[in-house]
Amino acid sequence: MYKVSSKNLVRPPGGILKMLSVILLVFSRITDNRKIIIRLNLTSFLLLMVILQVSANSMAQKITLSLKNAPLMKVFDQISQQSGYDFLVSTENLKAAKPVSITVKDEDLEEVLEKLFNISL
């Protein structure tokens, strides 16, 4: 049913290996001062990327709610006050939605919205 063929094995293309060898050759011909500058630039770039990633994670919105049998509009208002995000929802959908009870403490906005939509559906 299945055929095994050694021709279909995945191998890196030779072009990549040639390109890497050219880059190493060029890098070996660069003077020592330029090597240090290139290493410093690469190190500072990587450090900047790590710092940006950490700051993006720390800026995640944390929501705390404790509402029982509250209309969906009130829940959206509370989330909007805490996060600064505004929600666009049709009034027909808000009127048709059942009151919800939700209790969350210091959870991400995405998780709160997932819980809220699972409750209201």
Number of structural domains (the chain) is: 2
Is residue 33 located within the same domain as residue 75? no
Residue 97 has pLDDT above 90, yes or no: no
Is residue 113 located within the same domain as residue 69? yes
Is residue 80 located within the same domain as residue 98? yes
Is residue 69 located within the same domain as residue 41? no
| pLDDT tens-digit map of 14-52 | 566 676 677 777 766 766 777 778 878 878 887 887 777
pLDDT score of 8 = 46
- First-to-last C-alpha distance (Å) of the chain: 47
CA distance 118 to 110: 12
Is residue 20 located within the same domain as residue 46? yes
Residue 6 lies in a domain: no
Residue 120 has pLDDT above 80, yes or no: no
Is residue 76 located within the same domain as residue 116? yes
In terms of residue numbers, what domain contains 36? 14-58
Is residue 26 located within the same domain as residue 69? no
Global pTM exceeds 0.85: no
Is residue 102 located within the same domain as residue 68? yes
pLDDT score of 35 = 75
